[in-house]
Amino acid sequence: MATSESDDQRQRGVHESSYSKNESKRIRVLSWNIDGLDSPTAEKRTYKICEIIKTVNPHVVLLQEVVLETFAILCKKCPEYRIIPGDITGYFVAIMLKIEDLEFIGKSIFPYPFSVFGRNLLTVQCRMKGVPFIFMTSHLESMAPFSYLRRIQLEYCFRRMKRKSANYTVIFGGDMNLRDWELSEMGGIPEGIFDVWEMTGSRSNCEFTWDLLLNTNKKCDSYHKPRYRFDRIYLRDSDPKSVSPVYFELVGLEKLRVYEVFPSDHFGLLTHFDIRCC
């Protein structure tokens, strides 16, 4: 249900207060397509993205559209993170893990058969604050003509989430390029997997992550300004449940002052979880 601005500010105030008191039990996960392909502004925007990462202080960052140039900036400006790339050619996904908070266990990379754009799924196993996690990120097939491939890729990711050991909490985030009708045609989200935006109230002011009405980095020739929830975060609980999602917000909502561009053409998704057990 949509909330008014004052209601949202009040909720945000409660969130920030509880956030400061419960840091020992709090897990923050950021997912963001950082648009490394827009080369004229990529370097400047990536420096700003690094500033935002340091400000919101996520334990895990799931990135899409990383290129070697932006990867180098991330490594230089965020030395407190271990950065695991899903590839080192073209543009690729990556996962950043806060070194002091996580024990890295292992990684896996699964290329998608028949992907036109060379997409894959990157998976990382780790332990954080006593809880075993599996984090997954991907950049599913882009553009409307490749809807069929995109749905096959998402079904594959859902299957992998469900097959993971019940000891692990599984969090999958990324640029799904997903239209709501596509998910409906797939039969919706499989049982046991949950959309974190929906779990935290489906707030309308953090619904659209690729939003040409608000974000001017990409131009549209028509009067219609497309707004899509391309980017999503899914949760598969462990058994017994280890975490609960408590808040969902967008980041990267302000332009770089000098260059009049947003940090990316996508807004980032910052999710807050509380540990339920030790």
The set of catalytic residues is 175
- Distance, in Å, from the CA atom of 44 to the CA atom of 40, rounded to the nearest integer, reads 9
Identify the sign of the CA torsion 197, 200, 201, 204. Answer: negative
Q: Name all contacts of 102-108 with Cβ < 8 Å and 24+ positions apart.
A: 102/59, 102/60, 102/126, 102/127, 102/128, 103/127, 103/128
* 3-state class (DSSP) for residue 35: coil
- Sole residue written with tokens 């309308």: 204
Taking alpha carbons only, the member of 183, 184, 159, 178 closest to residue 229 is 178
- Distance, in Å, from the CA atom of 120 to the CA atom of 125, rounded to the nearest integer, reads 17
Asked whether the beta carbons of 156 and 190 are under 8 A apart, the reply is: no
- Distance, in Å, from the CA atom of 4 to the CA atom of 273, rounded to the nearest integer, reads 24
- Distance, in Å, from the CA atom of 112 to the CA atom of 120, rounded to the nearest integer, reads 5
Structure tokens at 121: 């799924």
H-helix or E-strand spanning residue 89: none
Give the gyration radius of the chain's Cα atoms.
18
- Distance, in Å, from the CA atom of 276 to the CA atom of 278, rounded to the nearest integer, reads 7
